[in-house]
């Protein structure tokens, strides 16, 4: 009986904590939207974040996209050539890079490169009272730190996902045509037939939503960090794990929703 009471008590506490965190997360999103509509965004801070998130992430995103496209093409060619389907390698690489792998890969790379850095930076500022100092100087940490990162991430994620997908297709072409000797025309010709604007829309929408998830989860974990250096480490790990999990889950939901709406709008 005692264990049961303890179990229910713990469950209630955990549920209360979870609800409190969900409430704080919603409050963070609403604060960012409020600041955005009050035009509190500093252009110089946004430019700095666009450079850090966009330009500095570009080599990583291109490299990983290229490598994944190469592997995809190598596997596709190897698996399909003996069945006489090698000509579909191009369309397979392009479609999967654009619709699924490009946005996912980009968001995973940015979780590690940007999300973890945001949590660690804001978290260490929080534990060393720098956020409080900022507030006492009349500067809102939300305006100074959170808003520019959120806007920059929203703007750069779709661009980076397109770069990742494009470099994946180029990587696939390199392997299929330059390594396995496939004809370039055979590789590229079916792509415009089967890849339509809806795939590009799916790429943009998914990467945009993943970007929002990364930046909000990262800022939230940084702003509400507890404890010293260990707390910052824990918050950073938590941010990365939570980002990966929510990205994968939301990707499934988005895929189902996008496919359903495609069927609804255009039929099969």
Contact residues: other proteins, CB under 8 A: 125, 128-130, 132-139, 144
User: If 0-12 CB within 10 Å is exposed, 13-18 middle and 19+ buried, where does residue 83 land?
Assistant: exposed
Determine the Cα–Cα distance for residues 212 and 155; give it in Å rounded to an integer: 10
Q: Which is nearer to other proteins, 6 or 132 (CB)?
A: 132
Q: Which is nearer to other proteins, 192 or 228 (CB)?
A: 228
For the bound state, the minimum distance from the C-beta of residue 2 to other proteins, rounded and expressed in Å, comes to 23
Q: What share of the chain is helix, strand, coil (3-state, %, to 5)?
A: 90, 0, 10
Q: Which is nearer to other proteins, 135 or 258 (CB)?
A: 135
User: If 0-12 CB within 10 Å is exposed, 13-18 middle and 19+ buried, where does residue 122 land?
Assistant: buried
The enclosing H or E element of 51 equals: none
For the bound state, the minimum distance from the C-beta of residue 18 to other proteins, rounded and expressed in Å, comes to 16
For the bound state, the minimum distance from the C-beta of residue 133 to other proteins, rounded and expressed in Å, comes to 4
Q: Which is nearer to other proteins, 35 or 239 (CB)?
A: 35
For the bound state, the minimum distance from the C-beta of residue 252 to other proteins, rounded and expressed in Å, comes to 37
Q: Which is nearer to other proteins, 194 or 230 (CB)?
A: 230
For the bound state, the minimum distance from the C-beta of residue 222 to other proteins, rounded and expressed in Å, comes to 14
For the bound state, the minimum distance from the C-beta of residue 154 to other proteins, rounded and expressed in Å, comes to 24
Q: Which is nearer to other proteins, 22 or 139 (CB)?
A: 139
CA distances from 93 to 86, 106, 126, 179, 248 (A): 12, 16, 44, 15, 20
User: If 0-12 CB within 10 Å is exposed, 13-18 middle and 19+ buried, where does residue 9 land?
Assistant: exposed
User: If 0-12 CB within 10 Å is exposed, 13-18 middle and 19+ buried, where does residue 219 land?
Assistant: buried
């Amino acid at each position: 009986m005692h264990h049961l009471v303890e179990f229910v008590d713990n469950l209630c506490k955990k549920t209360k904590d979870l609800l409190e965190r969900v409430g704080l997360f919603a409050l963070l999103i609403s604060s960012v939207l409020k600041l955005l509509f009050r035009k509190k965004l500093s252009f110089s801070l946004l430019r700095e974040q666009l450079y850090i998130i966009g330009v500095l992430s570009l080599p990583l995103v291109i490299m990983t996209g290229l490598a994944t496209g190469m592997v995809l093409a190598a596997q596709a060619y190897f698996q399909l050539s003996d069945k006489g389907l090698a000509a579909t390698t191009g369309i397979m690489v392009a479609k999967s890079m654009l619709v699924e792998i490009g946005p996912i890969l980009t968001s995973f790379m940015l979780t590690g490169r940007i999300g973890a850095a945001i949590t660690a930076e804001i978290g260490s500022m929080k534990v060393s009272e720098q956020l409080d100092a900022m507030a006492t100087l009349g500067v809102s940490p939300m305006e100074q730190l959170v808003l520019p990162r959120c806007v920059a991430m929203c703007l750069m994620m779709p661009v980076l996902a397109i770069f990742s997908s494009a470099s994946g297709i180029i990587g696939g072409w390199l392997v299929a045509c330059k390594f396995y000797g496939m004809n370039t025309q055979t590789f590229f010709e079916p792509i415009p037939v089967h890849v339509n604007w809806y795939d590009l829309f799916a790429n943009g929408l998914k990467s945009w939503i993943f970007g929002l998830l990364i930046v909000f989860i990262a800022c939230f974990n940084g702003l509400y960090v507890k404890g010293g250096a260990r707390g910052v480490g824990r918050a950073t790990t938590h941010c990365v794990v939570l980002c990966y999990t929510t990205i994968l889950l939301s990707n499934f939901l988005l895929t189902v929703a996008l496919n359903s709406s495609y069927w609804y709008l255009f039929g099969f």
